[in-house]
Each structure stands twice: as C-alpha cells, then as structure tokens.
C-alpha cells in the first residue's frame, strides 16, 4: 500500500483543511465545506468573495471573514500558538491584501505572527528603524510589488530563512509581477526562497512548515 | 550606528566565508583568498575551475577540490555537524553538478546532509521506494531540470520545508531552465520555496538557515 | 484534380461536423448549423454559450447541451462505439471544463471514453490507487493546469500514447497556461504529444485518430 | 508494492534501452553501456558525438553509427518489423538530422518506417505530388523548422495521427525554434500532437507507442 | 525649408485623409472630421464604433458605414479605379473583420480589389481550386490568424508581392497573434512583407503604394 | 495536375537559383551548385564563408565573391537591368553586411539599385540632406539595427513601398534584433512591410517582385 | 540615527506630497489627504478618477482637477517658478494623458514647463519646424507610444538631458508599450534616460531633480 | 538648410569624438581614428580590445588604454573639469567594467567624477556608511547587476538625478540583465532614468549633459 510520508500534521489537532475558491462556483464551494464540516478540522478558504462568506456563514455560523485578503476561517478547535514567530514585512499599502493572506494563513496554521508594514525602499529609514522586529522572528516573509527590492534589503540584513512573495502591484514594464519575481530570484542576498506572484498563502504555508520544525525541535529536544 | 541584525552566524566558529568565482580573474580570486586566510574562518569557493584550485592550493595546502560542483573548501576549524538533516534529492545524472553544489555548501555550513539521486519522474518507482529517506530529513532540497516535476511530486508527499532548484538541463522549449523554474513556482503542492536556476548554493544556504534555526531551538529549548 | 487524401472518415457514417463558436455571432452560427442540418452527419459545437444552445434548439430539437464544456451535440445517427478506450485524466476541479471538452468530443467521434479526475500530484496517492484504469485504456489524455506535472507522472507510468493538454488554470508566473505547456513539452517521460492550452477538443481529436487506427487494425486484421 | 503499469514493452524482446549522451562524459557513457550490455536488450544512444561511437565500438563491435542524427545502435536481437508504417516527412535539408533521429529511433523500436523529405511549403507541389505516401502510412511524423507550416498543411490533408517536431532551423525572429513550435501548437488543422524543439527521438517514441497499439490490435484482434 | 518628398499622392485628387478612432473620444473625432470636411479630400475612419458613425452622419450625410471592419468612408470625389488588382485572401470566418479592413482601405485608396475568403490550410483544396485568382492579381494581401500558415502557402505559390497580416484570432499559445506573426516573419517562402497584428489598414496602405507605382508605370510608360 | 501559378519568373532568362549556405556542409553546397550548373540560370549563394567560395570557384571560375554580405554570384547570362530603381538605405556601419546582402540580391535579380548609407537618426541631417535620393527610387529598403527608428523616419517622408529589415546590431535590451523588429512592425508611418531580422535577401526579393511588377506594367502598358 | 541624505527638497516650501491613487479605495485616499492637509505642503494626487476629486473637494475646496491626466492638485503655497525650462514633447493625440501627467507634475514641483505636441515621426516636418522650442529648454521629456521613434529623433537633434516615456498606445506587436520601451532603451542617440511605460509622473520627477540642480547652481553660483 | 540644434558642445573645445569598436575591424577603426586625428578634438574609443589599442598607439602615441572598461582615450586638449560632481556607485566586483566605462566616459567629457564601489544590498551597511558621498554629488550613476536593487535603495535616499545602469552580471533567471533592467524601470523610488544593459557609456553621456547644464547655469548665472 501507499501512505502519506510524514504525519506531523495529523499530530496537531485542528490543522485546517484549505479551499482555494477562485474558479469555483458558490454551489461547489458550499458542497466542499459541508463535506469538510463533518470532520473536526478547522477550515480556511482563500480568494473568497464576500458572497461566498455570506453563504458559508449560513452553514457554519462561527465562520469569520477577513476583507482584505478575502479569506474565511472556521475555527472548530483552537491550535496552541507556536513560541517562535513568523514576521510578515510588506512594502506598500497596495501589497496589504497579499501580506494579510500570509498573516491569516500562518495564524490559521497555528503560528505566532507579527506584522511590519509600509517599509518599502522608497522609505528605507522606516525599515532601518525596526531592526529589532527582524531580530525577534524565526522566519521572515517579505511581500513586495513593483521592483521588489525590499526582499533583497531584508535578505542582506538577516541570516534567517526569508520567504519572498512578489506581488502584481505595478504597471507597464512590471508585466504583472514579473519584475518583482525576477528580483527575488536573482537577489544577491543569499537565503531567499521565492513563491509565485501574489501567493501569500504559499509563503505562509512554507514558513509554517519551517516554524513547526523549529517548534518540534524545541519541544522534543 | 548601523549593525548587522542577527549574530547567530558569528556565534558558530568556523562558519565559512564564500567567494563566487565566475567572472573573476585568477589574480582577483587569489587576492581575496589571501585576505580571507588572515581570519580563522573556513573558506568556500564556488564555480571554480580546476586552475583556480591549483593556484589556491599553493597558498592554502589544506584546500580540497570537488570536481562535479567545481567547489574549493578550505577547512580551518571543524564545525560540529547538526543533528537534524538536509536531504538533497535529484532527478537525473545531468543534475548532479547542481545537486553536489548544494551538498558541499550545506556541509560546509555545518549541516548533516543525505543524498537521494536519480529519482526523477521518468522512474518514479525509485522515488516511491525511498520514502523513508524523505521521512528522515528535516529539510529537503529538490534539484531537477527539464520539466522539474520532481519538486511537485515531493512537495505532494511531505509536509516539510522543500527548497526547489530548477536546473538548466534540457533543450529547446526548456529555454535554459525556464520550464523547470515555472513548474516549481506554480506547483500545486504547497510549501515549496524556489531559488534561481542552477543555484545549488543558494538552496543550501536557505536550507541551512532553516536547519540552524531548528538546531538552535533543539539546543536552547 | 485535388482530393482529400484519406477517406476513413467518410466511411464512418455519423462522423460529426464541427463548429467552433467563439468569435461567431448567433446569426452566423445558426446559419452554419442550418446548412449542416441538410446533411445526415452529427453536429458538434464547441465553446458555445447557453444562448447559442437555446437558439439552436429551436431548429434542432434533438440538440443536447453540456454545461461545463459549453458544447452542443446534435446526434442524427448513432455511431458504433469503439472497443478500445480513451482515458481522460485530470488534475483538479478547475480543469474539468477542458477535461469534459475532451470527453464529449471523443464520444461524439465514436470512442469509448473513461474518466479519472482529481488525481493531481498534490494528492498523488489517488493516482497511484487507480493504476488499473491507466492499464485498461489504449490512449490516455491528461489534462492539467498550474505546473502540469501530472502529465509527466503518467508518462512515466505507462508506455502508451499520452496526449497532454495544458490548461490556463493558475495565476501569476503561470502566464495563462505557459507553465503547464512548457512542462509537457519538456517532460523527461518520453511519448507525450502536446496540444494547445485549453484545447480539450484537439486532444480528443488526436486521441480519436489514434483510437480509430487501432480499431480499424483490430477489425481489418 | 509498486509496479510499472503496462508491460507490453517487456513482451517484445529486443526493445532497446536508451542513453541520451548530451552532457555525459565519455567515461560515464561507457560505464552505462557496459552495464546495459549485461542484458540482452538492444541499445540506442542519441546525441552521441563520433568519439563516443569510437569508444563504444571497442566494447560492442556490433555498434553502428548514424552520422546525421549522431546515433549509435547496438542490435543484439532482431525485432520483428511492424506491418503498419510510420512516415517521416521533412521540410528542408537542414531538418534532416532531426528527421533522421526520428527514423532511426522508430526503426530501433521495431517500426516499419518511410521517408518523405524536402517537401516544405516553399515547394508545395512536391508534397502534393506524393499524396499516396501520406495515404499509405498509419502514423505521420512531420519535421519542420523556420515557420513550420508543413505540419499544418499535412494535418489539413489527412485524418490520421500527426506528430509534429519543430526544429531550431532558422534565425532572427525564429528564436531557436519557437516560431515553428507555436505554429504547430496553434495549427488550425486538428489532430496534431507536438513534441519539444528538435526532439526527433520523442516524436518517434510517441509514434511507436501508437503504432505498437495498432499492431497489437491487429495481432490480438 | 523642408518639404514632403514625393507628391504622387497630392496628384491624385480624392486621396483620403485617415482617422484612427481607437482611443479618441466622440467629440475629438467629430472635431477632426469637421476640420477635414473643409478640404475636398475623401475621409476614411478606422476602428470606429457604430456610435461614431451615427454622430458623423449628422455632419456628413454621405458617410457610409462598414460593420465588419468598423470603418466609415466619406467619398467627396470619386477616384478612378486602378487597372491592376489587389487580391485579399483570408483563412477563416473570424479573420474577416481584418480582411475587410484591408479591402475597404484599398478601395478607398483607389485600388481595384478582389476577395478570396475561407481558404485556410485546414481546407487547402479550396485554395488550390482558386489558383486563377492568385494569377490575376498584381499584389496579394493574405490575412490569417491561429498559426498563419496560409501566408507561407501562398508565398510558395506565387512570385508577386505578398503582404501578410497576422490576426489575433486564436487562444492559448497563440499569445494574441504572436504565433501567426512569427510564422509570417520566418516563412521559408521568400518575398513576404509583414505588418502588425490585425493591421488590415497598414497592409492595404502598403499594397496600395505598390499598386499605384505599377499604375503610374503603366500610365507613364 | 498542379503547376506553379505565375511564370513571370521563367520569362526572364537568367533569373538566378538561390542557395542558403548556413548549416550546409561544403560537400552539400558543392553538389547543389554542380546540379544547378547544368541549367543556364544564374546562381546566387548567400551566407557563404570564404572557404565555400574557394571551393565553388574551382567548378565555376566565373564565380564572384562579395566579402561583406558573404555572397557568391555566378552570372551565366546577363539580365537586362530595370529602369525603375530600388534604394537601399542603412543606419550605421555595422548594418552594412545586411544592407549589402540586399543590394547584391536585388542586382542579381535584375534590378537597378542605389545605396544611401550611414544616415541613422543619430545623424538625421545626413538623411535630410539626401531627400532627392528617396525621391528618385520606386521602392525603398531600409536596414537598421539598435532601435530601428530609421525605418519610421523614412516611412514618414515618402509615399512609396518601404521594406524594412531589422538587424541584430546592438546589445542588452536589443535582444538580438527584437527591438528594431518591433519598431518596424509598430511604426506610426503607414506603408512599411517588415521581413525577418538580418534578412537582407528576403527584403530584396520582395522589393524585386514589386519592381518587376512595375517594370512589367511599364513595358506592357 | 539615520536621516534622509539631501534636504534640498525641504528647503523649498510648498514642495508637494504625492499620492498614487490606483489601487486605493476612496476612503483610504480621503484619510491620507486629511492627514496631509495638517501640514502646509501642496498635495498632488495622480491616477485619480473623477469621483476621487469630488470627494476630496469637500475637504479641500481649493483642489483643482485635471481631466486628461486624472490628477488633483491642492496648492497651499505658491512655489516660485524656475527660470530654466522643461519641454514636454509628444507624438500623437493618444499620448496626451501621459504627456499631461508629466506637465502637471513638473509644474506642481515648481518648474516652468512648455509643450510641443503632435510632432511624431509620421509628420516629422512639424518637429523640424519647431527646433527653436528644443533649443529653448534645459531639459526635454519626450512622450511616445507605438514604436517610440520620436525619442530617438529628438535625442539625435539635441545635446541636453532627454527623459523618454514610452506609452502603452498601440496594439498587436506593441505588447502594451514594450515596443516603445525597447526603442528608447536601444536608441542610437546617446543621452536618453528612460522611465516606465506611461510613467509621466516619474519622467517629470526626474526632469525636476535635474532642473532644480540647474536652478540651484544658477542661484548659488 | 538644416542644422544641429544646440551648439553647447562645440563651444567646449576638446569635447571628444567617440568610436564604438564592437563589430568594427581593426582596419576600419584605424581609418576612422586617422580621420578624426585631423581635427583637434579628443578621441574616445569604447569596447576596444587590447589589439586595437596597440594598433592605435602607433598612429597616436598619446593614446591611453583602460583595461577594465576596454577604452582608449586620446587627449589632444585638456578640458576644464566641472565644479559639480558625478558619483558612480556600483554593486559588486563584476560590475566594475561597466562602472569604469561610465567613469572614463564622464571624465573624457570634462566632468569631475567620484567612485563608490562594492556597496550592493548584500552589504548595505557599506552604503549607509557613505551617505556623505551621495550628499556631495550633483548627479549619481548607479551600476548594478543581478537584481539591481541598489538603484532603488539609492533612489530612495536622495532627491537628485539618478541614472541607473543594469548590468548583465548574473545567471539563470537573470536573462542577460533583464532582471536588473526591470527592477530599475519599476523602482518605487521616483526620479530614476534608466539606460540599456551594460551601457556605462550612455549613462555617463546623459549624466554629463545634466552636469554641463548645471555648470553652464553656475557660470552664466
Ligand atoms: N475547442 C476547439 N479548439 C480548437 N479548435 C476547435 C475547437 N472546436 C472546434 N475546433 C476546430 O474548429 C473547426 C471548425 O472551425 P470553424 O469552421 O471556425 O467553426 C473544426 O474543424 C475543428 O477542427
Ligand atoms: N534525443 C532525445 N531527446 C530527448 N529525450 C531523449 C533523447 N534521447 C533519449 N531520450 C530520453 O532520455 C532517456 C535516457 O536518459 P538518460 O538516462 O539521461 O540517458 C531515455 O529513456 C529517453 O526517454
Ligand atoms: N503616476 C505615477 N506613477 C508612478 N509612481 C507614482 C505615480 N504617482 C505617484 N507616484 C509615486 O507614488 C508615491 C506615492 O505612493 P503611495 O504612497 O502609494 O501613494 C509617490 O511618492 C510617487 O513616488
Ligand atoms: N559602449 C557604448 N554603448 C552604446 N553606445 C556607445 C558606446 N560607445 C559609443 N557609443 C555611441 O556610439 C556612437 C559611435 O558609434 P559608431 O559611429 O558606430 O562608432 C557614439 O556617438 C556613441 O553615441
Ligand atoms: Mg541573508
Ligand atoms: Mg508538501
Ligand atoms: Mg511513457
Ligand atoms: Mg488532420
Ligand atoms: Mg513567392
Ligand atoms: Mg509613408
Ligand atoms: Mg543627444
Ligand atoms: Mg529619489
């Protein structure tokens, strides 16, 4: 027989099941959530329009909606928060939906999360005034659009895992986020792992697998 | 004043200084190594042709050369190996130089490293016959060229940090590694962090920052 | 004079005429169908909005509409189904419209068709649990978006003709299906023929020319 | 346990093992061939420079070298040729290495193969004067560089499986074969399966899986 | 002083002034037309929505609207038609708006124009059945989308000036007309001049400069 | 039966046969030329290295070599030169090989040809000081690399057929001639037909079909 | 501590604060403006729809709206205009929104600005008839879409700083402004600095930093 | 008649004539230099291999060769240095040839130039420790490869003209400098003018036109 390799996940009760709503009809989403509600796991829905939330609320009244990142969270069991921390850093106001997608996802996966927003290179002194926040975290997610230089600057400042999320914020030669994506892949600061454009969810998921490994090591010695 | 944020690195004696040799003259490399030899750090040189090694050996007889990944390592102090492990998985024979760049780098940074080679999707049963190796590691680096599907398959099998390195192996519509790069960025398996094409060094560096956080947590509780 | 080379098609009564509706007005489509109805061939319309169906139904009451793939089928003569089978495999829910376009087309061309859906690499055990289905078919169509790794995995498992359809499902560095397309073209598993992004019709058409050759050989010895 | 799904291949004694030589050292290739020679399968090496052949000949005197496609074939057991035929059609003289890679591969896999060369659209009357050849084959491989229109013309003339191989022949806005590749993917003639640029091997492999299915049906009824 | 080089244009009374309407407001277009109406030249407006026509008709009741190519023509003086002919050939129904833009433009510039539509390579016998039309014209414009192979086929059949217009008709790897554009630029048939995607106007303009040179030579000897 | 449509070509004795030498071996070229020498046509070889010329000279002593455009011309019958003229305009010194390829080709096809070189936009006064040359020609070929603006400037100055050849001269964001190619396709000056990057031959061939039509009209009235 | 390096800006009272409105909600913009209104700086909002203006007017009645470039300017202190001048040159009518964004921005930053519009290469005599305007300015901004050749022509005519703004005006192979962008980057006229597609604001900002340096030198000697 | 618009250049005796050597033969370069030596201007040759220098030295013994940027300078008249300064900032060692091309060019054009090298974002404290150098210059040129973030960081620190030169330093997803180019075009720091990849000459030329305007204003008041 064939079996899922690692089962650290199943050891942590409450670990959410996830629905990516884009491209699914209201009826499809409702059916999937109904199925999921039969188990005792938490449920996280991403890229969900408000109408989706309104429908889901009827069958899961404890559902909470996060407007900016368009996420729904149904918490059926509280997860113990990790001791180590994920810091989400973002460049500008327009990057916030993606940054918040990362924050909500990371929290739903049981991580302690901090925010450091609006510290893009156009106002680099704001970043340099918050070095202690970089110092305090175990894993850093940097979210940046336009040219995405923020990821490089942070990668140059710390020696910790940095997960970089390019956003599609920008226009013209930005080519829908390509510019920030290439910046992050070519960064002369070592130690940066890149995810897809606007993929706050994926960044948080990766950061969480890292953070849970750290947590497990702390707990198990 | 301004200071490097975290100093976990300096706490670990023997942590290497790194030279990227591509595009530097023999004389330049020699000068840099001479300067570095004044400190007691280990030295790691990447993308170094054999001639470079022969020259460096004259001023640092303890230098070791790794042919496949074209790396030189000068070990002046032994680093304690980590308890947790980085596993480097690769698709085919041609991906080996990049995979070995990752292995040598990770080891030079003090990590315990395992290899699982030649398990690309064209012979997927070889991968499925080695699930215990995936199970044993704390961090996984997957190295794959052509279409890079290996990263997706592994990402779907485990819930640990997966660092994916696309290689430039392939031809035609491969566009110098673009195909594998896009595969890894768009993977439907969550939790994959991508580095630049052929960047085995960067993948190992990121894996190492993750592994050292794990190690630190284990040691400090 | 000049003549269509092979006439296997005309030998099979009921072989449909095809209309590609995208970019044609309702009036144009109606006119074409009216013209076609004068012959005794079946009629298959692809990329047809519901309004098109409602209009066509008035002049061809036997018309059937398939919502997901947006296809209309007018069956004026029943085709004998082939003994050998085409299997349509798909990755995720969002790939279903394209997968169904392949299924309906293949059936309209007289083929026996099986489905194996939702077996993408993020849940690869589901695929591995259905190896008998791969074993049973003569030709396989794999439909996958995002990074399209499913085609590679299947190509590595079987030694039969595999037709791969990249879908435009995904976002960011997916570039409208380019990522899955490149994956399929660069697959390290040999024996994969690729069609245009979202072209379920073309994949089924090719699979059908293969299957009909097999059928003909079986019948004619 | 896990097993290769279909075993039609192993049923046919003499079916070759394949080595892709590009990027492998002489020593590596020699070692692989030595290993392969222990079994009784035929051996096919692609993208092999003449030096490789000269070395291999020493350990396998029956090895034959094909200059144009740079292939080595070691035939240890004769395969029965198929009754049905694969036709390889090519545009111009410069496409011949790729066309011959397809021919030699298809023959090594046990297929009966015909050639129809130099019938590109710049001299379309030559193609139109050979319609019987198109008529006679069960599967067609079309090899074309520059704008690759040949594939479309052939796809429009027949209702059989057409495998299209774009070549990198051309310059300027050809972008290394991209032009022919896009032509083949976007062909308005249905029923064309496309492989990677210059991938004569892959086209023949796919054509062979088709042809062997036809053959099996003929034999098994 | 500086002067327009050649004045063949001004010698031909009635030669139109041209407005490209896309991206201009109704008010702007109206103002420009009013200004133009002060002279005795014909006026041709391209990419004009029906609303534009309805507005222009109020100030120029002789204005005629062509629905498919969205063009308005105001003929204030009749141009003598050329003796030599421009033939506009197109692939499929969806290419007709672009083909008609070429036809109307060429006629407005005083040329005799013939049409040969729906002769794409998927039904190449229709083209081969109309070789006399190719023979009769002095200049040929070929309009084709998808893979654009029609231009190559025609270029291979004749030794006259062929102007090729790629259209944006298609989807997926068509990339908005790029596929047809590259086909036409890389055609192995010599003697093809290419214009921008969907630029029926430009093709006709170029064809007209050619045809008028021919006409002038005929008249002036 | 099927026949080449127009036979204006065969009417003009001496019209050359053409060999494109790139990618052909010395032996192949020699064989082709030998075959051609059996007929009484002129022979034009493009992209021919000096070694090719030295070999050809042995079998055709009347062969002439043009170093810059790397062309060989074997004139067996003198063509009467056209009365109307083709003008070849080029931007900079580095564009000369391509410009000369156009000149030699056009002359070999029987056209009267003029040159106007080194008049790129960086020294636009040189172009403006030669307006009479533009005035004198019937057809203009403009050859330009880097950003290719020269084609637009000329297109804006004249109302004659302008054939534009982008060259690969440049570096960086030039992308091997893409920049000049796009400039020419998007020119706001109407009436420009574009050929492939560095394709001086194709431009001359097209210009010649135009010029021969003009000539024919002049002669036949 | 860390401080903004140069403070020429703060020396000039009235220098505006800037809001980029695209992607911000009405509420967010209002909040930012309210905050800004507490200081005595001028306020400039770019990419602002009319609704934004109507809302802002309620809290800042002195706000002025510029329709074409969609900009709002709130002038709380008059800036002394510079003696030296910025000239904004544009190609066609459709480039005007971008050109006006540059004009309004430059004026809001305290510069004397001149306009020279509709002088694209299709009507190059209009540019050549206005050479005195080019002569009079200290800095030139050229705004051009389609192939963007205007920037090259101007760069070839003057020896002053030229800032080039490619616009997204065009279609087909224009690829959203890429064509004009590449033209400007590859211009054979030296001394051209390029900004992002449609970035009139950025061009004016750069021109203004240049002009203010000139002004400062004039005043301070 | 037509005349070069501004003649500030000719007012400054000694202003060099420039030769771009790439793609020119030794003989051609020698001929051009001989011609130039007849005037009393300085001569600057870029992209000149050492052999070129050795040849030129014979006819102009005062010629000086700069190895890194491969430039030759023949100074026949000393230019008065400007009072205001151009600062050239670069990221890493590999960017030095381009940075030095900018320095030598700027000096040859009569500017006072300062260097600030090796201050890339991977060691951002080195940049922050040299803010006074940024403060001291009137115009800044930033040269950076890989992801090019340095330009953004500097653009965020100063309010002066910043000219950004992307270099082709990097590999993989760097695509020959595209990554740094896009970064600089999309920078969220306003006031950056971008030149072509590796175009140190062009950046210096633009910086010089700016600096000379400043100088002129200082002198003329
Ligand atoms: N979904 C589809 N994608 C691509 N081609 C199609 C599709 N549906 C139909 N076709 C092709 O379009 C042709 C009909 O096109 P038309 O004559 O434009 O309606 C058929 O012969 C098919 O080859
Ligand atoms: N010319 C070729 N192009 C692409 N794939 C090939 C080619 N020749 C052989 N192969 C594939 O490469 C595999 C062998 O790869 P390797 O194990 O690296 O030698 C074979 O199983 C084939 O599937
Ligand atoms: N049209 C524009 N294009 C690019 N950048 C702009 C534009 N308008 C304003 N900006 C920049 O955007 C910054 C304000 O951005 P934000 O804080 O997001 O409103 C300003 O400091 C400018 O540098
Ligand atoms: N490194 C360089 N990159 C780009 N353009 C250059 C460079 N060096 C010189 N140039 C330009 O090339 C022109 C000389 O070109 P040419 O006449 O071909 O030698 C000069 O006027 C400069 O504008
Ligand atoms: Mg770091
Ligand atoms: Mg996983
Ligand atoms: Mg297979
Ligand atoms: Mg067909
Ligand atoms: Mg022709
Ligand atoms: Mg013109
Ligand atoms: Mg200039
Ligand atoms: Mg700034």
CA G188 / ligand 4 centre spacing (Å): 7
- Please report the residues numbered 23 through 42 in chain H whose beta carbons come closer than 8 angstroms to any beta carbon of chain F: 23-24, 28
Q: Is G156 within 8 Å of F122 when comparing Cβ atoms?
A: yes
Please determine, for residue H64, whether its predicted confidence score (pLDDT) is greater than 60: yes
- How far does the CA of residue D1 sit from the closest CA of chain F (Å)? 51
Q: Residue G148 and residue G187: Cα distance in Å, rounded?
A: 10
Nearest 5°: phi and psi at G204? -70, -35
Q: How far is CA G148 from CA B76, C182, F122, G152, in A?
A: 59, 33, 15, 8
Partner chains of D (3+ C-beta pairs under 8 Å):
B, C, E, F
The two most distant CA atoms of chain E are separated, in Å, by: 57
Which residue lies with its CA nearest to atom 10 of ligand 3? G20
pLDDT, residue F23, reads 84
- Compute the nearest-CA separation of B186 from chain A (Å): 6
The token pair that represents G97 in the structure block: 């929104």
Six-digit token pair at A15? 């670990």
Q: What is the DSSP string of F50-88?
A: HHHHHHHHHH-TT-EEETTTTEEEE-SSPPPPPSSEEEE
Cβ of C171 and A197 within 8 Å? yes
**Best of H190, H191, H193, H194 for a ligand 3 pocket test (most atoms within 8 Å of beta carbon):** H190
Q: Which residues of chain D have pLDDT under 50?
A: 1-4, 6-11
Top pLDDT among G23 and F21 is at F21
pLDDT at E121: 86
Interchain CB distance below 8 Å, C22 and E93? no
D180-221 pLDDT tens trace = 999 999 998 988 999 999 999 999 999 999 999 999 999 988
Q: Measured in angstroms, how far is the CA atom of residue D155 from the centroid of ligand 8? A: 4
Closest to F213 in 3D by CA, of B40, E137, E103: E137
Cα separation, A27 vs A33, in Å, equals 10
CB of B39 within 8 A of CB of B17? yes
Contact A52/A45 with Cβ under 8 angstroms? yes
Q: What secondary structure letter does DSSP report for C34?
A: H
Reference B95, options B57, B69, B134; nearest CA is B69
Closest CA to B141 of B121, B158, B122, B123: B158
Q: How far is the CA of E109 from the centre of ligand 10 (A)?
A: 14
Which helix or strand (DSSP H or E) is residue A72 part of? strand A71-74
pLDDT, averaged across chain H: 92
**B35 contacts: CB under 8 Å, gap ≥ 6:** none
Residue F141 has pLDDT above 70, yes or no: yes
Report pLDDT for A1.
33
Chain B residues touching residue C180 (CB < 8 angstroms): 186
C209: pLDDT strictly greater than 50? yes
Give the per-residue pLDDT at C2.
40
**How many Cα atoms are found within 13 Å in the side-chain-facing hemisphere of D124?**
30
Cβ pair F190, F164 in contact under 8 A: no
What's the predicted TM-score (pTM) here?
0.94
Using one digit for the tens of pLDDT, what is the confidence trace for A197-216? Answer: 999 999 999 999 999 999 99
Q: Is it the case that residue F11 has pLDDT exceeding 50? A: no
Q: Inter-chain contact H213–G9, Cβ cutoff 8 Å?
A: no
Q: Write down the pLDDT at residue F121.
A: 87
ipTM entry: 0.94
Residue segments in chain E with a per-residue pLDDT below the cut of 50: 1-4, 6-11
Spell E91-119 as b/e; 16+ CB within 10 A means b.
Answer: bbbbbbbbbbbbbbbbbbbbbbbeebbbb
Q: How far away is chain F from the Cα of G141, in angstroms, using its nearest Cα? A: 18
Ligand 3: which of G46, G104, G166, G198 to mutate, judged by most atoms within 8 Å of the beta carbon? G46
Q: Say if the Cβ atoms of H171 and B22 lie within 8 Å.
A: yes
At residue C191, the pLDDT reads 86
Q: Is the pLDDT of residue A11 over 80?
A: no
Specify the range with the lowest mean pLDDT, choosing from C2-6, E138-142, F23-27. C2-6
CA distance E215 to chain F (A): 7
Whole-number pLDDT of residue G2: 40
- The mean-pLDDT minimum among A21-35, D199-213, H135-149 falls in A21-35
Give whole-number Cα distances, F14 to E155, F29, F75, F106, F112, in Å: 22, 20, 8, 13, 15
pLDDT of the residue at B190:
87
* Torsion sign across C-alpha atoms D45, D50, D54, D57: positive
**Which residues on chain G are in Cβ contact (under 8 Å) with E197?**
171-173
Any atom of ligand 4 within 6 Å of the Cβ of H98 = no
Reading the block at residue C107, the tokens are: 């059936």
Alpha carbon of C21: minimum distance to chain E alpha carbons (Å): 10
pLDDT band at B121 (very low <50, low <70, confident <90, very high): confident
Q: Which residue has the tokens 């590449």?
A: G182
Q: Does E105 touch chain D (CB under 8 A)?
A: no
Contact call for residues H150 and H126 (beta carbons, < 8 A)? no
Strand duo D17-20 + D43-46: pairing: parallel
Instruction: Give chain C's largest Cα–Cα span.
Output: 57
List of chain D residues whose C-beta atoms are within 8 Å of the C-beta of residue B94: 23-24
CA-nearest of E113, E77, E91 to E207 is E113
Q: How far apart are CA F24 and CA F32, in angstroms?
A: 10
Question: In this model, does residue H7 exceed pLDDT 80?
Answer: no
Say if the Cβ atoms of F190 and E210 lie within 8 Å. no
C17 Cα to the center of ligand 1, angstroms: 10
Report CB contact under 8 Å: E23, G172: no
pLDDT for the residue numbered H12: 55
- What does the alpha-carbon distance between residue B115 and residue F178 come to, in Å, rounded to a whole number? 43
pLDDT surpasses 70 at G10: no
Gap between the Cα atoms of D208 and C191, Å rounded: 8
With residues binned 3-state (H G I as helix, E B as strand, rest as coil), the percentages for chain E, rounded to 5, are 45, 20, 35
Span B120-145, mean pLDDT? Answer: 93
Which residues of chain E neighbour G93 with C-beta distances below 8 Å?
A: 24, 28
Pairs of residues, one from chain G and one from chain H, whose beta carbons lie less than 8 Å apart:
126
Sign of the dihedral defined by the CA atoms of residues E14, E15, E20, E24, in that order: negative
Say how far apart CA B215 and CA A210 lie, in whole Å: 12
């Amino acid at each position: 027989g064939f079996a899922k390799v690692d089962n650290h996940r199943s050891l942590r009760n409450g670990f959410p099941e996830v629905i990516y709503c884009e491209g699914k009809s209201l009826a499809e989403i409702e059916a999937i959530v109904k199925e999921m509600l039969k188990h005792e796991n938490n449920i996280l829905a991403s890229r969900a329009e408000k109408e989706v939330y309104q429908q889901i609320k009827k069958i899961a009244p404890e559902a909470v909606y996060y407007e900016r990142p368009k996420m729904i969270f149904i918490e059926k069991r509280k997860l113990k928060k990790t001791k180590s921390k994920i810091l989400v850093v973002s460049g500008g106001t327009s990057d916030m939906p993606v940054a918040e997608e990362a924050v909500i996802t990371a929290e739903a996966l049981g991580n302690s999360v901090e925010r450091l927003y609006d510290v893009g290179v156009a106002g680099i002194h704001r970043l340099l005034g918050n070095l202690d926040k970089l110092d305090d975290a175990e894993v850093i997610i940097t979210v940046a659009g336009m040219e995405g230089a923020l990821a490089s600057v942070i990668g140059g400042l710390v020696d910790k895992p940095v997960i970089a999320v390019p956003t599609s914020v920008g226009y013209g030669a930005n080519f829908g986020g390509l510019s920030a994506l290439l910046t992050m892949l070519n960064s002369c600061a070592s130690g940066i792992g890149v995810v897809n454009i606007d993929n706050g969810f994926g960044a948080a998921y990766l950061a969480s697998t890292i953070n849970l490994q750290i947590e497990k090591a702390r707990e198990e010695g």
